[in-house]
Amino acid sequence: MTEKDQYGREFDKRPWGNFTVLDETAFDHKVKRIVVDPHMRLSYQQHSKRAEHWFIVSGTAIVTLDGIEHEVSEGESIDIKLGQAHRCENRTDKPVVFIEVQHGSYFGEDDIVRLEDDFGRE
């Protein structure tokens, strides 16, 4: 269920952590702050209408792109191309925080095709 944070921004808890929408005023991009709890991971997924850029603010993420794992540490970033299968995983005892910049033509949560999910979501 979508909530609002103390600043009135969209905030949503997920089984793996949470996200806050930082900006969604432009027609061609959307910005989120994503927190992945320790020893959790997002679904392995792809999008047909947006690409993403992830900048790691804190922690160390294991980012899987088309089946290949990349370790991405604080201060580093990685790009996810349109249609590319991807996942962020936190294998540490501290939260991973990253900023996600989505770029494309549509940014709804229904543009997620889950290829694999630890929580049984489709």
Mean pLDDT in residue range 4-21? 91
The full set of domain ranges for the chain reads 2-115
Percent of the chain with pLDDT over 70: 99
- Round to whole Å and give the CA distance between 97 and 106: 24
Percent of the chain with pLDDT over 90: 89
Q: Which of 104, 100, 117, 106 is nearest to 43 (CA)?
A: 117
At residue 46, does pLDDT exceed 70? Answer: yes
At residue 100, does pLDDT exceed 70? Answer: yes
pTM confidence score: 0.93
Mean pLDDT in residue range 29-53? 97
Looking at residue 122, its pLDDT comes to: 77
At residue 66, does pLDDT exceed 80? Answer: yes
Given the candidates 3.40.630.40, 2.60.120.10, 3.90.1150.10, 2.60.40.10, the CATH classification of the domain at 2-115 is 2.60.120.10
Burial of 1 (0-12, 13-18, 19+ CB in 10 A): exposed
At residue 5, does pLDDT exceed 90? Answer: no
Mean pLDDT in residue range 96-110? 96
